[in-house]
Amino acid sequence: ENIASKGYVVVSIDHTDSTYRSKDAFASTLVNRPVDQLFVLDHLANMAADKSSFLYELVDANNTALIGYSMGGYGALINAGAGITKEAVSSPLSAPFGTLKRHQSGLKPKVDERLKTIVAFAPWGMNYNMFDLNTISIPMMLVSGSQDDVSGYENGVRAIWQGAKNVDRSLLTYMNANHNAGAVMPAPKESYVYSAELGGTVSAHYYDAVWDNVRMNNIAQHFVSAWLNKYLKNDDDMKPYLD
């Protein structure tokens, strides 16, 4: 809502196989998350050119930022140019039938020219040695909690920030926050229901044990807004807001 209020066209995706009502094998997310993201971008571009669409001439798909959280951050990294390592593709825990090879370093296609930057919240994968970072080719903002026990910090998000040396990048760290650092506003009331499968409530995917959700979100709004203005609007006046 915040960046939409500043003039951006914002699309949020319910990823098949990754929602509570369609949860399926994790391998599906590994393969399909980056593909889903670009599929939606293609669809938006088509709608912007379709006179019958409510988005006709309202979307500039050629000037796009991709924002993702956790596995969405994983997908964003791949679409920014990161390649999956050969070892990860051939791992017994990888997606079956070599389907992850489409994202393998050296085999995957070049970065879509419509993407100008990414913002990755707690991107998953580096802590499992998934990525070759040398091929990342667009600027990126990374957001992490220093105690992230899902995506990792020193061996995860911070390692991505340190390793992506070929692009402009920034790392926003919430000290002592866990995997939900910078997460969305407080959980909806429907999420406070116990799930035997999760061993807890869905609301646990929203809050942090240390940080207030609203405070985390306001900080994220500040830096993401400045970052997008810098790279999508070419606004050099944003530098002080990022210092």
Number of neighbours of residue 42 by Cβ within 10 angstroms: 12
Instruction: Check: CB of residue 187 under 8 Å from CB of residue 206.
Output: yes
Give the pLDDT score at 83.
Answer: 97
- Could you list the beta-strand ranges (E) of 28-114: 64-69, 83-84
Give the pLDDT score at 207.
Answer: 87
Distances (CA, A) of 210 to 33, 37, 162, 194, 207: 30, 31, 26, 22, 9
State the average pLDDT for the chain. Answer: 93
The arithmetic mean of pLDDT across residues 149-170, rounded, is: 97
Closest listed residue to residue 2, CA positions, set 181, 230, 188, 219? 219
AA letter at 25: A
Whether the model clears a pTM of 0.85, i.e. scores above it, the answer is: yes
The per-residue b/e assignment along 154-179, b for 16 or more CB within 10 angstroms, e otherwise, is eebbbbbbebbeeeebeebbbeebbb
Give the pLDDT score at 190.
Answer: 86
The arithmetic mean of pLDDT across residues 192-205, rounded, is: 84
Task: State the Cα–Cα distance between residues 53 and 26, nearest whole angstrom.
Answer: 34
Hey, which residues does 119 pair with through a beta bridge?
A: 67, 141
160: confidence class by pLDDT, cuts 50, 70, 90: very high
The string of pLDDT tens digits covering residues 201-231 is 888 888 899 999 889 999 999 999 999 999 9
Percent of the chain exceeding pLDDT 70 equals: 100
Hey, which residues does 118 pair with through a beta bridge?
A: 66, 140
Which of residues 173 and 28 earns the better pLDDT score? Answer: 173
Instruction: Check: CB of residue 150 under 8 Å from CB of residue 184.
Output: no
Give the pLDDT score at 184.
Answer: 66
